Amino acid sequence: MERRTDDRSAARFERSQDEPTTAGGTGPTTGVAAVDIWELPSGPGLADTDLTGFTVEAIDGKIGKVDEHTREIPGSFLVVDTGPWIFGKKVMLPAGVVERVDADTETIFVQLTKDEIKNAPEFDEDRSRTDADYRRRLGDYYGGLRGARL
């Protein structure tokens, strides 16, 4: 079976041409698992945990605290207040960049470096949550980084 990679605005999928897709044709129903940049990883007790205020750790150090998070399907994200690190700016992180959550220490670990986060498309407090073009660009940016690590 020949494999191909489909780059999508919010996700990166690998599937066989013969494999059936889920409703809407956006991912496999069996076989190779989909990697969704907008989906929060699951874990014990995570579904009910309020992540607001949790510290966010990049590969190379702390980037800030969660100011807001969603569990939209599809489209979960975190808004992180970076404090003095990026001059008080906030950044939006698709939930799929979360590597793990430690509820005991209230820490979220992401699979990114500080520079990768700093170089992401800029978050606009007034528009970014609902701007489809921004979310597409953000998904492409972080999906490309994540795909390079797979």
Asked whether the predicted pLDDT for residue 86 surpasses 90, the reply is no
Q: Kindly report, residue by residue over 107-134, the tens digit of the pLDDT.
A: 999 989 999 999 999 898 888 888 889 9
Per-domain boundaries in the chain: 3-36, 46-149
| Per-residue model confidence as pLDDT tens digits over 18-44 | 333 333 333 333 333 445 788 877 766
User: What gap in Å lies between CA 21 and CA 17, rounded to an integer?
Assistant: 10
Mean pLDDT, residues 3-31: 33
pLDDT band at 143 (very low <50, low <70, confident <90, very high): confident
150 pLDDT above the threshold of 50: no
Cα 71 to Cα 19, 49, 93, 110, distances in angstroms: 28, 11, 13, 17
Q: Is a pLDDT exceeding 90 seen at residue 64?
A: yes
Query: What is the pLDDT at residue 44?
Result: 62
Tell me the average pLDDT of the chain.
74
- The structure's pTM equals 0.71
* C-alpha–C-alpha distance, residues 124 and 92, integer Å: 9
Q: Model confidence over 40-63: pLDDT tens digits?
A: 777 665 667 889 999 999 999 999
Please tell me the predicted confidence (pLDDT) of residue 129.
84
Q: Residue 12: what pLDDT? A: 28
Classify the C-alpha dihedral 77-66-133-86 as positive or negative. Answer: negative
Q: Give the CATH number of domain 46-149.
A: 2.30.30.240
Judge whether 124 and 134 are in contact, CB under 8 Å.
yes
